Every structure is written in C-alpha cells, then in structure tokens.
Amino acid sequence: MIETFAALAHGMAVALQPMNLLYALIGVFLGTAVGVLPGIGPALTVALLLPVTYKLDPGGSLIMFAGIYYGGMYGGSTTAILINTPGESASMATALEGNKMAKAGRGGPALATAAIGSFVAGTIATIGLAFLAPWLVDVAVKFGPEDYFALMCVAFITVSATFGDSPIRGLTSLFIGLTLGLVGIDKLTGQARLAFGIPELLDGVEVTTLAVGLFAVGEALYVASRRHHTEEKLEPVRGSLWMTKEDWKRSWKAWLRGTMFGFPIGALPAGGAEIPTFLAYSTEKRLTKHPEEFGKGAIEGVAGPEAANNASAAGTLVPLLTLGLPTSATAAMMLAGFQQYGLNPGPLLFAERPDLVWGLIASLFIANAMLLVLNLPLVGLWVRLLAIPQPWLYAGILVFATMGTIAAKPSVVELSMLAGFGVLGFLMRRYDFPIAPVVVGLILGPIAESQLRRALAISLGDPMTLLQSPISATLLAIALIALVAPFVLKGLGRFKANED
C-alpha cells in the first residue's frame, strides 16, 4: 500500500511538470475536436491521433495520449447531447435525456454535468484501478459464459426503462433490434442467418450504422417532415448556461451510482460499456424525484450514464493492465498506445515496469482534470452551435453522419442500410415507437445468445448450469426480482388502497 502511494506520488510529480501539463492540454483539445465528429467515437479518435504522440518523449506522449483519450470520450458525449448523434453505443443513454435538455435550452447544464460527472467517475475509477486491480481481476475471470448470460438477463429487464409509455411498443422496438442482431454469420457454427446471399451482410449489422441511422438521419427526416407545423426554433440557452444548485443536487448522487455500475462491469472481460450506462439510466429513472421530467430532459439521466461510461472505461484498464486483455475498442487502442513505449501489458507489467504503470495512472488523473479546465469554458461555445440556421445545421449533421460510414465501410450496401435505418427511425418517431430499444436489442441479443449457447455447449446441453454457478444464480434472482417487484408493489399498493 505504501509503495503504491509512493509510486503514484512519483508519477504525479512527473505529470505535473509545466511542459507535460501543456501536452495534456493539447491532447485534450485534439481529442475533443476529433471526438465531436459523429460516428467517430473515442476509440477511433485515439487511433487517428495516436501518431501525433510518437514525436514526443515517453512521459510527454503518455500524457498527451491520456488527454486525447479523455477528450475523445467527452467529444462523443457532446454530439450525443447537442445533435442526438451518439459517437458510439456507450453514449447512447446520454443522448436520451441529454438531447432533450439541449432542445429545451438546457444544453449547458447537460454538457457540464457530463463533463463533471466524467471527471468524478474517472477519478474514483482510477483510484479503484490503482488499488483494487489485482483483486478485481481474480473475480473477473471467474465469470463464465453462463454468468454473462445471467448478466444479460438483468440488462434486458433494465431496458424497459427506455420503453416509454407503452410496453407493447417498447417490446416491438426491442424485437426489431433482436431481429437485426440475428443478421450475419452465427458465431458458434459459422452458418449465415438472414443474409439472403449478400456477402456484405455476413458480418452483421454494425451498431454505429444503426445508431447513426436511427438517431441522426431519422431525426433529420422527422424534423423536416413537421416543419410546416411548428417552425421549431432552437434556443441554445434558456435559463442558466451553468448548472444551478438544484442541478448539482440532482447530479452528484447519479455520478456516484453511475461509477458503481461502470467500474466493476467495465472490469469484466466481456462486460462492456453499454450495459452499465443503461443500468445507470434505468436506476436514475426509478430513483428520481422528478419522474415527470424523464423523456423531457432530466439531468440525472445524463449524469448517471455519463459517469458509468467513464468509469467503465477505467474499468477496462483492469483486465488490460493485469492480464493484457483488451476488452473494448478503446482498450485495444490503449494497448497500441502502450506498445509504442515497448510496454507489454500482462501479468508481469505491474511487477516489471511499475514506473510506467503509475506514470500512466497519474497521467489519467491529470488529463481528466485538464478536460474540465478546457471544456467547461467551451460549453457556451458548443451550445451556440445549435444557433446555426436549421437548414445548414441538419445538412451538416447528415454530412457528418454519413461521413462516419463512408470512412469506415464505403460500400453501397452499408450506405443503403444507413439510409434504410434513417427511414425506420423516421417511421418509428412518427408512429411513437421508442428508438433506443432497437439499438439495445442489436447489442445485447447476440451477446446473450452466444453466451447462453457457449454455456450449454460446455455443459453438454444441461440448462442446470445456469443455476449451478453461484454468480449466475444470484444474477438471475436479481433479474427475477426486478421483473416481478413492480407488479408486486403495485398489487400491494392496491391492496392497501382497498383496505382504507
């Protein structure tokens, strides 16, 4: 423990040199600038900017790298809030309430709670990383396929928080997503499903294509179709540009809860960032004292998922640093970042190169703080982007949205899918079906299916394996309680009402 502190202090001393602080600032700036392009999430941002750091000395480049990483993360959330275009699936939950806030002229507080929440969550999770990593990783590898399946069951229940008013409509959206998740080569047997002989479909539906299509393109079509109704005039700032006392009060608990979901689930090798963000969203929706604001721009609905997103990113560093396992796209980029310093993450890293590990962790702290320093003053500027005349604003959004797909997979099939999902998003908005469950279904469906089938293959077809694992049994019990509890509570409430 003492050594940990000493090592961390040494890392801090290096990171706090003026030149290194400047590198951190440049890194955060570049990361934010590229990260705000829709369809370009933090992972791609880091990939694109990684070479910029090659020219610096190891200490400086490590710090700039950390800055780019955090800047990219924050940039992804900025587009989710401002123009309803999540840069990656993990900032989708942020878009749900964040964009509603921006439309109501509360984009400033939304961006601020995202930035401060990211800082708080990043800081707590980095501390967790420093002190809990070796212990946490032992727990993480104990998660087998059956346990992941049980975790997915919990996640499926929480998705209902995104359903809106009608369960039938919410489930319809979810099942459309599950159907899209079936497209492509079956991971376990290599058989093609729903590909109709089109080779481009064999790799399945890309989450970013679906999310950008449904959210950005669908939104543009919908707004265009109802222009004659209400000449929707976006007011960038209504009320305070900054978070009010009330905003703070509603945000801080959400930040902490989001961190509690994000860090441990991010540390699981197949945990990911989407599940904790949705868990955080649904938790905030259940616990809030302002349920009427959800769906119209509730600040805790931004604070929780953003904190969870950032904490899970720090969580993915646990298996990365201790096992050398890159468990997400961003972690894979981090791995590439380490390798440029001749650093090979793995079981021996903490023992062999403590200086670099602690240097990195110190850099993460500094970059996180720098993000706040740079971005809070910029909030006002970002929000004013919404003041661009509507024709140009939406034309620009569509150009940036298609650009992500063109850069990643410039095929006619992929672009047609983007347009098709745009139409789907438009029709779903028009006929009042919620959008988010479609993307959730696409993400969770294939994971749940393949983990269940892996578990059954290992157990030779015996479904009891789901109950024999203590982790899985516990999670399934939680899922069952979460499913039944609302009905029971309602029943009790009615019972009581009858007694009176």
Partner 1 sequence: MTDSPSRATPPAASPSVDRAGLVIAFLLAALAAVLVWDASRLPAGAMYGVGPGAMPIVVAVGLGLLAIGNLIDALRGGLPPRESTDPKPVLLILAGLALLIAIIAFGGGFILATSALFVATSAAFGRRAILKDAAIAIVLTTLIYLAFDKLLTLSLPAGPLERLL
Partner 2 sequence: MIALHKRLFGAAIAFTLAAIGPAFAQPLELKLMAPAAPGGGWDQTARSMQQALVAAKIARSVQVTNVPGAGGSVGIAQFVNSAKGDGNQLMVNGFVMVGALAMNKSPVTLDQVTPIARLTEEIQVIVVPASSPIKTAQDLAAAVKADIAKVTFAGGSAGGVDHVMAALFAGAVGADAKKVNYIPFSGGGESLAAILGAKVTAGISGLSEYEGQIKSGKLRAIGVTSENRLPGVDIPTFKEQGVDLVLANWRSVVAPPGITAEQRKTLGDAVEKMVKSDAWKDILKQKGWADAYLGGDAFADFLKKENARVTDVLKSVGLVKS
Which residue's CB is nearer to partner 2, number 463 or number 486?
463
CB of 494 to partner 2, least distance (A): 45
CB of 15 to partner 2, least distance (A): 23
Q: Map residue 194 onto helix, strand or coil.
A: coil
Number of residues this chain uses to bind partner 1 (CB under 8 A): 63
Answer yes or no whether residue 30 interacts with partner 2 by CB under 8 A: no
Segment (H or E) for 385: none
Contacted entry of partner 1, partner 2, none for residue 162, CB cut-off 5 to 8 Å set by kind = none
CA angle 222, 225, 227 (to 5 degrees): 110
Contacted entry of partner 2, partner 1, none for residue 290, CB cut-off 5 to 8 Å set by kind = none
Contact, 296 vs 302, CB < 8 A? no
- Categorise residue 238: left if φ over 0, alpha if ψ from -120 to 50, beta otherwise: beta
Q: Which of 12, 194, 234, 473 binds partner 1 (CB under 8 A)?
A: 194
- Which x/- pattern over 429-458 shows residues binding partner 1 (rule: CB under 8 A)? -xxx------------x---x--xxxxxxx
C-alpha to C-alpha distances, 484 to 168, 174, 478, 490, nearest whole angstrom: 17, 20, 10, 10
Q: Which of 15, 46, 362, 372 binds partner 2 (CB under 8 A)?
A: 46
Q: Which of 162, 208, 259, 283 binds partner 2 (CB under 8 A)?
A: 208
Residues 6+ apart with CB under 8 A from 24: 15, 63, 64, 66, 67, 363, 366, 367, 370
User: How far apart are the C-alpha atoms of 482 and 490, rounded to whole Å?
Assistant: 13
Contact, 219 vs 425, CB < 8 A? yes
User: How far apart are the C-alpha atoms of 41 and 35, rounded to whole Å?
Assistant: 6
CB of 178 to partner 1, least distance (A): 5
Which residue's CB is nearer to partner 2, number 127 or number 335?
335
- Which x/- pattern over 381-400 shows residues binding partner 1 (rule: CB under 8 A)? ---------xxx-xxx-xx-
First-to-final CA distance of the chain: 59
Q: Which of 6, 13, 188, 287 binds partner 1 (CB under 8 A)?
A: 188
**Which amino acid is present at 101?**
M
> Contacts with partner 1 in 40-79 (CB under 8 A)?
48
User: How far apart are the C-alpha atoms of 59 and 397, rounded to whole Å?
Assistant: 38
Using CB under 8 A, list all residues that contact partner 1.
Answer: 34, 48, 165-166, 168, 171-172, 175-176, 178-179, 182, 186, 188-189, 191, 193-194, 217, 220-221, 224-229, 390-392, 394-396, 398-399, 402-403, 406-407, 410, 412, 415-416, 418-419, 422-423, 426, 430-432, 445, 449, 452-461
